[in-house]
Amino acid sequence: MAQYSRLEVAAVMKETGMVPLFYHSDIELGKKVMKACYDGGARLLEFTARGDFAFEVFLELNKFAVKELPGLILGVGSITDAAAASFYMQMGANFIVTPSLREDIAIACNRRKVLWSPGCGSLTEINKAEELGCEIIKLFPGSTYGPGFVKAIKGPQPWTSVMPTGGVSTEESNLKGWFDAGVTCVGLGSQLISKDILASKDYDLLEKKVSDVLALIKKIRLN
């Protein structure tokens, strides 16, 4: 079962401002990626379960996180139905991220008090998600909507917490645009954990990138 409640996960998302996204079929490589992100200061990581037998990889990575990386909150993304959400929660997923809004997933996660973050693309979807108990909305794909959409939503609904994913980069101008618009945190995938880093297995570089991005987010928020 989950090690962290949805309120605890939401608090860490808000505090750190970043959720790295990652998937690879190689378990040992995955452990090294997780440790590099952890050593760089990340306290959340979304495992995007897209490959064959991804559940086997997630199970081993979560065991590793619990044993070796205290305080790291591992969740799972790309979940498309309640059965998959329940399956991953049985393996200890601490949060569930979905590409679209699904009430069946909301019910399954709420029953276990596990944070779920659905992909939404309209004010109607956002309102429905919040009515179903969502703490943090995933704006997906972020590149389609941009910071202007977030700013427009936050005007009439300042209570809405948004996490854009897709279209978020590690550049200061990009991050500043999102955080100035009022996002709670950002999801960063290949812009942070790039194919080049994975190919070269340069985990020291990944650790530095994570540390630099977290410092940049902190700086942007203070200004």
Grouping H, G, I as helix, E, B as strand and the rest as coil, residue 104 is helix
Q: What is the pLDDT of residue 119?
A: 96
Q: What is the pLDDT of residue 2?
A: 92
Q: For residue 23, what are its two tokens?
A: 């998937």
Helix H or strand E encompassing 181: helix 172-181
DSSP letter, residue 51: S
Tell me how far apart the alpha carbons of residues 96 and 89 are, in angstroms, rounded to a whole number: 8
Residue 211: which residues within 8 A CB-CB, separation 6 or more? 40, 41
Tell me how far apart the alpha carbons of residues 153 and 141 are, in angstroms, rounded to a whole number: 16
φ/ψ of residue 95, rounded to 5: -160, 155
Residue 195: which residues within 8 A CB-CB, separation 6 or more? none
CATH class of 6-222: alpha beta
Q: For residue 22, what are its two tokens?
A: 């990652």
Q: For residue 21, what are its two tokens?
A: 């996204």
Q: What is the pLDDT of residue 223?
A: 82
Q: What is the pLDDT of residue 122?
A: 94
Q: What is the pLDDT of residue 142?
A: 93
Tell me how far apart the alpha carbons of residues 207 and 136 are, in angstroms, rounded to a whole number: 26
Tens place of pLDDT per residue across the chain (223 aa)? 899 999 999 999 999 999 999 999 999 999 999 999 999 999 999 999 998 999 999 999 999 999 999 999 999 999 999 999 999 999 999 999 999 999 999 999 999 999 999 999 999 999 999 999 999 999 999 999 999 999 999 999 999 999 999 989 999 999 999 999 999 999 999 999 999 999 999 999 999 999 999 999 999 999 8
Asked whether 19 and 185 are in contact (CB, 8 A), the reply is yes
